[in-house]
Amino acid sequence: MKATKIVLNTALALGVVFMAVICVKSVVTPIKFEEERAVRETQVIANLISLRTAEAQFRLDKGYFTADLDSLVDYLKTAPKKEVLKEGSLSEKQLEDGMTETKAAKILERARIKAQRKMKFQGPDSLVQLYNYVWENDREVKSVGLQGFRRDTILTNMIQSLYKGQYTEETIGEIIYIPHTNHVKFEVETNNEYKTSQGINVPIFEIRAHYNTYLHDLNKQELVNLIDKEQKLDHYPGLKVGSIDAPNNNAGNWE
């Protein structure tokens, strides 16, 4: 009897420990899943934002969005970016007198051409020399108070211009891959013929990463539950930017 009681007590104690472990695990597992999900989604979102930036610039130059991510990367590596160098600004009085950025740019362009005919500006600081000469000597520029005003369109490196040192030519290709996968590419759909209800053509795109891609190695049941929850809410089970159904200003579904 005593031995039986000891066995029963031991079994009961083990059962209590087992249930305690189950209870702790049921609380800890979802927390760990959500913590790791948050870390990974920060990285996925960063790539989606970079791709959105690239698609927007591609459309600005080409007039349409592309579903070919490899060609998008090639575009970033090879296409120059036009940028306007700005120095100085128009005063309130100049604006009131009818001066505009366009008029000011034309006046300076005329002055630069005249100056270049008279003088030879050479070396890496030739533009600085040219503008200093124009500001000090051109009558029209001085008469309308454009000393110190400068607008120049230059060609710069597309990657550096768009991403400000975040990527290099060697690393830019990583934006097309979903983090925490074995180089799985983001899914892309485009519709460059989409028309609004008013008959206006508005190209649209959608770039997405399903939960099954970047969360595939986490707790399977938690992943199934997450996907099921989003599908019941009629939400895309993952992260995406843009929409292939209708224009949404290329917003992300986390924003």
How confident is the model over 172-207, as pLDDT tens digits? Answer: 999 999 999 999 999 999 999 999 989 999 999 999
* 34 or 1: which leads in pLDDT: 34
Query: In this model, does residue 123 exceed pLDDT 50?
Result: yes
Per-residue pLDDT band at 85 (split at 50, 70, 90): confident
SS (H, E, C) 57-74: HHHHHHCCCCCCHHHHHH
The pLDDT tens digits for 162-175 are 999 999 999 999 99
Q: How confident is the model at residue 8 (pLDDT cuts 50, 70, 90)?
A: low
Among 71-75, 110-114, 117-121, 170-174, which stretch is predicted with the lowest mean pLDDT?
117-121
Q: In whole numbers, what is the pLDDT of the chain averaged over residues?
A: 89
What is the phi/psi pair of residue 100, to 5°?
A: -130, 170
Q: For residue 17, is pLDDT > 90?
A: no
Q: Tokens for 28? A: 């800890």
173 token code pair: 């290709």
Beta carbons of 58 and 176 less than 8 angstroms apart: no
3-state secondary structure of 120: coil
- Segment 95-109 shows an average pLDDT of 93
Q: Is the predicted pLDDT of residue 115 greater than 50, yes or no?
A: yes
Where do runs of H (alpha helix) occur along 63-185?
Answer: 69-78, 92-96, 101-118, 126-137, 139-143, 158-163
> What tokens were used for 181?
């996968």
Q: pLDDT at residue 220 above 60? A: yes
For residue 197, the SS3 value is: coil
Record the pTM. Answer: 0.74
Give per-residue burial for 84-101: e unless 16+ CB within 10 Å, then b.
Answer: eeeeeebeeebeeeebee
HSE at residue 229, side-chain half, CA atoms within 13 A, is: 8
